[in-house]
Amino acid sequence: MKLIKLNSIAFLFTLISIVSCDSNKVYDAYLPINSDGWLLTDTLVFEVEMAAQQTQASNYLIGLRNNNEYLFSNVFLFVEIENPLGQKQIDTLQYLVAEPNGKWKGAGVGAIKSNLFKYKESQVMEEGIYTFKITHGMRNNVLMGLEDIGLRIESVN
């Protein structure tokens, strides 16, 4: 009986290790949104240092976690990227976080839903520091119901 229990635990540990490995991930971080809301003037800043061995084509993704206090079915974001040479690019993004019937999109059990949205695909990155700045572009000065915003960079295989 003890051997079966030990084998079960070993199998579960191995399975979790395999599932949690993510060989494509280059960068993955989330920044929390203040519980008093995300002000229109608040900028979330992600600094990503690319090493020489990481300079390959990459996909950029935006992570968003919202709760039931979020009043909209979509979100507008302004994203500014500054590359290691100091060149800047600004994009306006719109993502849907709810179905037309009001059902939240994304994964999660309970009040918090998590989404991972494609931003840019097959971006060639140079060695050095990239700065990503994200602000919301909604009409409300204070945006309630967002838990955190993330940036994920994955290498393209």
Could you read off the pLDDT of 32-74 as tens digits, one per residue? 999 999 999 999 999 999 887 666 789 999 999 999 999 999 9
- Specify the pLDDT at position 14: 41
Q: In the chain, where are the structural domains located?
A: 24-155
pLDDT tens string 127-143: 999 999 999 999 999 99
Nearest of 21, 19, 25, 18 to residue 156 by alpha carbon: 25
Which residue's structure tokens are 């179905």?
99
**How many whole angstroms separate alpha carbon 65 and alpha carbon 144?**
12
Please give the C-alpha separations between residue 95 and each of 42, 58, 72, 74, 78, in angstroms, as whole numbers: 19, 20, 11, 5, 12
Q: How far is CA 141 from CA 22, 41, 70, 96, in A?
A: 37, 8, 14, 20
User: What is the reported pTM?
Assistant: 0.83
Domain 24-155 is of which CATH architecture? Sandwich (2.60)
